[in-house]
Amino acid sequence: MNPPNNSAFLTLNAGSSSLKVALFSADDDHALVTGQAERIGAEGSLVLKDALGRPLPLAEGSLTNHSDALAMVIATLQQTRPDLDLAAVGHRVVHGGTHYDQPVTITPEVLETLEALSPFAPLHQPHNIAGIRAAQAAFPGVPQVACFDTAFHRGQPFVNDSFALPHRYYQQGVRRYGFHGLSYDYVTGELQRMAPHLFAGRVVIAHLGNGASMCAIHGGHSVASSMGFSVLDGLPMGTRCGNIDPGVLLYMLEQEKLNTAQIRQILYNESGLLGLSGGLSNDMRTLEQADNAESHRAIDYFVFRVQRELGAMAAAMGGVDLLVFCGGIGENSRVVRRRVCERLGWIGIEIDHGRNAESAMVVSSEFSRTTVMVIPTREDLVIARAARAAAGVQKKETA
């Protein structure tokens, strides 16, 4: 299928308080527009930029909620590109349950299934669905494609897919789903293209950002992930607690008499780096600059848990051939990368401090038995490619 010159694909990635947007050319991976709405609500902000990085003039609107933010994005695109012809819209959907292990074109039946999964991802799934409905209303007749964060992990073995609960819970869908699958999909694709010998081996990808997780990947397939039933599990994050003894939750219920809404608020919004630093910040950049006891406490804990999780990943695969850092912290924090790797000589990791300071693609030394890389992730590109495939558009071959 040959698309018209003005045809494009829109990708939407709705988080709990953000909305990432990208507009891609129909026949290649060239981004025409990129941007993000942050802190959606009373203090929300929106920035959209063209392919040269120049800010676009924004249309009138508000950022009160996700629907309003998307409406403002759409109005800006229509205002700045009046001849825009969308071939498809791709959506990041956090939870696909056991139903979906690959992208799907959204039908009423699919949307009904996704809504039923909202209790499994209460802070993300409703926003994903709201984005789908808003895009359907704005672009009637344009195919909408769902790309799932859980799909990448659906082939994990039972021992990494289950909890030691009565088996009826597993049958009800209480299992380890894993998340950040779109990021892992992109990075493994880049590895297959750039370093197929490493791609074929035992890889750990550390997606470190405001949301953080790690994944053990053997031969291109997910073997184990730090996130489990929900996006709370595993590593500490910006405001999420990470791994926690369920007895703590019982203590909150029984001793502090908190209700589920209050506990959810603590676990999702008051914990992680923010909670560890005594409310100082959930942003690693701020913590590194603060250089005080509170920030040290949060960074120390974060680094320790990454190291500990890497040990578990190594055990799951019988070793590690490659460690990849990605995500906002993984790609940009020289301090975190250095500190994570400092105590990993036992697994064959030796970092090159000069390369790390430059954020080179390979930051391990020539003497390191295990390679360490930094690969910027592109979830939006994974979504765009899925939307292109669903629309039956052929990617233009480059020389």
Handedness of CA 387, 393, 395, 396 (dihedral sign): negative
- Rounded CA-CA distance 342/391 in Å is 47
SS3 assignment, position 92: strand
* Active-site hit among 50, 83, 85, 149: 149
Radius of gyration of the chain (CA): 21
SS3 assignment, position 240: coil
The answer to whether the beta carbons of residues 26 and 5 sit under 8 Å apart is no
Burial 362-378 (b: 16+ CB within 10 A, else e): ebbeeebebbbbbbbbb
The pairing of beta strand 31-38 with beta strand 85-93: unpaired
293-317 and 334-342 are packed helices; what angle lies between their axes, rounded to 10 degrees? 60
Q: What is the widest separation between alpha-carbon atoms in the chain?
A: 66
* Residue 152: DSSP 8-state: G
Decide if 149 is catalytic. Answer: yes
The answer to whether the beta carbons of residues 317 and 309 sit under 8 Å apart is no
SS3 assignment, position 359: coil
CB-based contacts of 63: which residues, under 8 Å, 6+ apart? 37, 40, 41, 44, 45, 46, 69, 72
- Rounded CA-CA distance 95/110 in Å is 12
CB burial of residue 247 (10 Å; 0-12, 13-18, 19+): exposed
The answer to whether the beta carbons of residues 25 and 35 sit under 8 Å apart is no
Active site residues: 149
